[in-house]
Amino acid sequence: MPVAALTQSSPRRLGRAVPFLAAPLLGVAAACGFQPIALWPLTLLGTAGLIALSAGASGPWRALLLGWLWGVGHFCLGNAWIATAFTYQAQMPAWLGGIAVFLLSLYLAVYPALAALAAQLARRRPLSAVLAFAGGWIVSEWLRGWVFTGFPWNPLAVAALGGFGRAGLAQVLPWTGTYALSGLVALCAGLWWLGFGLRVARPALALVLVAVPLGAMLVPQLPRGGEAGTLPFTLVQPGIRQETLDDPLWFESHFQKLARYTMPGRSAARRLVLWPESGVPDYLRDGYPPFYYAETTFAGSPELARRRIGQVIGPGSLLLTGAVDLELSGERVIAARNVVSAVDGAGTIRAGYAKAHLVPYGEYLPMRGLLQPLGLSRLVAGSLDFWPGPGPRTLDLGAWGRVGVQICYEIVFSGEVVDRAHRPDFLFNPSNDGWFGPSGPPQHLAQARLRAIEEGLPVLRATTNGISAVVDADGIVRQSLPRPVTGGLEGLVPPAHAPTLFARVGNLLPLCWAAVLLVCAVLALRLRRS
C-alpha cells in the first residue's frame, strides 16, 4: 500500500474505533450515579452517550457490540465491591476478585446491549430511538432480574433517589415499579441527547429538553401525613469485623456486643429486637446430633442458647435474628439453610423464615458435581450447600406485628419481596454487609429504599458492620448507623401506607409501561413515514 494511502486510512480507522473506545467509558460514567459516588448527572450523560452511539450505529450487530461494551464498563465499576469478598476467604486468592468482577460484567453487559439494539432499530427518527431505548431498557432490566436466577443489582432507577431525607424522582415508584423508573431515567437521558442535538438549530427547545430532566431529578419531597408507629424496636449493629465473624475465639465477644446494645434493662410491654444475619453462631433448633452443638457453638445446646437469648432480650421482647439451620439425613448433615428465627423472652422459637434467593458460588455451588472435580468451590469455605426456602412469607408475630423477611441481597429483587396474599406491616432485612467493602453497603441500602417506596412498606435493616437503617414507607432514612460503627437504634416501627398500585400488580406494571413506550416508538416511526 502506498504511504499516502496508508496515511489517509489511519485517521479513518481511528475514527471508526472511537465509538468502541468511548462506549465502556460512557458506561463507567453512568455507574457514577450509584452510591457512594451518587453523581446522577453522569448517569444521564453516560446513558445519553449510549443512545447516541446506538442510534448512530450502521447496523444491529454494531449497536449490540457498542451496548455490550458500554455494559462491561458500567458493571465493572458498579459491581467492584464483589472483589472485596475474595479478601475474606482463603479458598481463592484475592487477585481473583477483579477477574470475577470482569467476567460477571461480560455476562451482565448483554442486557444494556438489548436496549441499544432497540434504539438502533428505531433510529430513523431520534424521538423513536429514545422511546424504543427506554422501553427496551425496562424489558432488559426485568430480564436481568430473573434469568439464571437473576442479578438485578444497581438498576438505573437507583440514580433517581435523593439523599437520605428525600426520595427524589423515585417518588413515582408506587405507580411505575423499579424497572419502569429505570426506563424513565433512560428517557431523561434521551431528552438530553435530543437537546444536545438541537442546541444550534432550535436552542429554545434544546434548553427545555435539557431542563425537564433536571427538574424531574430534583423534584422536592412531597409531604405525606399519617399516624406514628406503635411498635417499639431495638435494632443492633454489632460492628463485627468480617475477619473474626466465623472465628470461635470471638463468638463470646460478639454475643456480648449484641447483648450490650440490645439494652436488656429497658422494660416494655412489648418490644421487637432486631439482630443481623449471622447474628448468633449457635444452632437454635433441637434435633441435631449432640456433637454438632458441641463443636460449633459456645452454649453447648440449643436450649441453653435460646434461654440465654431470652435473658438478654427480656420477657416483653421478641427477637428476630439471623441463624443457620441444618438439614439432616439420619445423623449426616446434607445441607443448611440461611434463616431468620423469632425467639421470645422465654427462649421459644415462635416462627422462622428461610432465605429463598441464594447467592450462586457464595451459598451454593451450581452444578457442583461437574465443577467441584475441576477445582472450583464456593467463595465461602465448605462443601455444604445451602438450600433455598419457599419464597416471600409473612410471619405473624401476634402482638409484635406481621413481618416480611428478606435476608441480605434478597431485598434487591423488585416485585419478589412480599407475600401479596398476606401483606406484612413492615419488612426486615438482616444482612452481613461486612463482605463488601465501602461501596457495597450504601448500594444495598439504596435498593432497600426502592423496595420501601414501591411497596409502601417500611424497611428495617440490621447488619453486622454497616449500614443499618430504619427506612420509612416513603423511602426516607429515619435512623442509620454507618460502617464500622457499633451501636443500637431505638424507636417505633414506621407505619405502612395502603397497598400501592405496584404492590397490587407487581412487575406486570413496569412491563405495561415498557409496552406503552415501545408502541409510541412505532407510532412515531409511522408518523414520520406518512
> What is the pTM assigned to this prediction?
0.93
202 Cβ neighbours under 8 A, 6+ residues apart: none
pLDDT exceeds 90 at position 324: yes
Q: What nine digits make up the cell of 353?
A: 423464615
Q: Can you give the pLDDT at residue 248?
A: 81
Average pLDDT over residues 147-157: 95
Taking residues 161-189, report their average pLDDT: 96
Percent residues over pLDDT 70 in the chain: 90
pLDDT exceeds cutoff 90 at 158: yes
Does 2 have pLDDT greater than 50? no
Quick check: 474 pLDDT over 90? yes
Average pLDDT, the chain: 90
From the number of C-beta atoms within 10 Å of its C-beta (0-12, 13-18, 19+), residue 361 rates as middle
What does the pLDDT average to over 381-396?
Answer: 86
- Compute CA 414 distance to the chain's CA centroid, rounded to the nearest angstrom: 9
Q: Which residue has the higher pLDDT, 528 or 337?
A: 337
Query: How far is the C-alpha of 220 from the C-alpha of 232, rounded, in Å?
Result: 30
Q: What is the pLDDT of residue 140?
A: 98
Whether 49 has a pLDDT exceeding 90, the answer reads: yes
Non-local (6+) Cβ contacts of 507 within 8 A are 142, 145, 177, 179, 414, 415
Residue-wise pLDDT tens digits, 210-258: 999 999 999 998 887 667 899 999 999 999 888 888 788 888 889 999 9
Average pLDDT over residues 20-42: 97
Q: What is the pLDDT of residue 374?
A: 46
Domains of the chain are: 17-223+508-529 (no CATH), 232-496 (3.60.110.10)
pLDDT of 371 strictly over 70: no
Q: Distance of alpha carbon 138 from its chain centroid, rounded?
A: 16
At 373 the pLDDT is 45
Reading the block at residue 103, the C-alpha cell is 467476567
Backbone angles phi, psi at 2, to 5 degrees: -60, 150
Residue 346 has pLDDT above 90, yes or no: yes
Quick check: 293 pLDDT over 90? Answer: no
The pLDDT value given to residue 1: 39
Type of residue at 447:
Q
The predicted model gives 471-487 an average pLDDT of: 94
Banded pLDDT at 5 (limits 50, 70, 90) = very low
Rounded average pLDDT over 288-310: 81
* Residue 324 CB partners (closer than 8 Å, separation 6+): 283, 336, 337, 338, 339
Residues 65, 507: Cα–Cα separation, whole Å = 28
The closest alpha carbon to 473, from 157, 216, 179, 170, belongs to 170
Cα 288 vs. chain centroid, distance in angstroms? Answer: 34
Specify whether the CB–CB gap between 397 and 350 falls below 8 A: yes
Concatenated DSSP letters of 163-185: -TT--GGGGGHHHH-HHHHHHHH
pLDDT of 299 > 70? The answer is: no
Cell 461494551 maps to which residue?
A: 69
13: pLDDT confidence band, cut at 50, 70 and 90?
low
* pLDDT for 396 beyond 60: yes
The residue-averaged pLDDT of 2-7 equals 38
Average pLDDT over residues 115-142: 97
Mean pLDDT of 110-137: 97
Which of 153-167, 296-310, 336-350 is predicted with the least confidence, judged by mean pLDDT? 296-310
Neighbouring CB atoms inside 10 A of 250's CB total 16
pLDDT given for residue 350 in this prediction: 96
Tell me if the bond preceding 467 is cis, omega within 30° of 0: yes
What is the reported pLDDT for 84?
87
Q: What pLDDT shows up at residue 109?
A: 98
Q: State yes or no: pLDDT of 369 exceeds 80.
A: no
User: Are 490 and 233 in contact, with CB atoms under 8 Å apart?
Assistant: yes
Among 134, 135, 113, which residue's Cα sits nearest to residue 66? Answer: 113
Q: Does residue 200 carry a pLDDT above 80?
A: no
Beta bridge partners of 480: 469
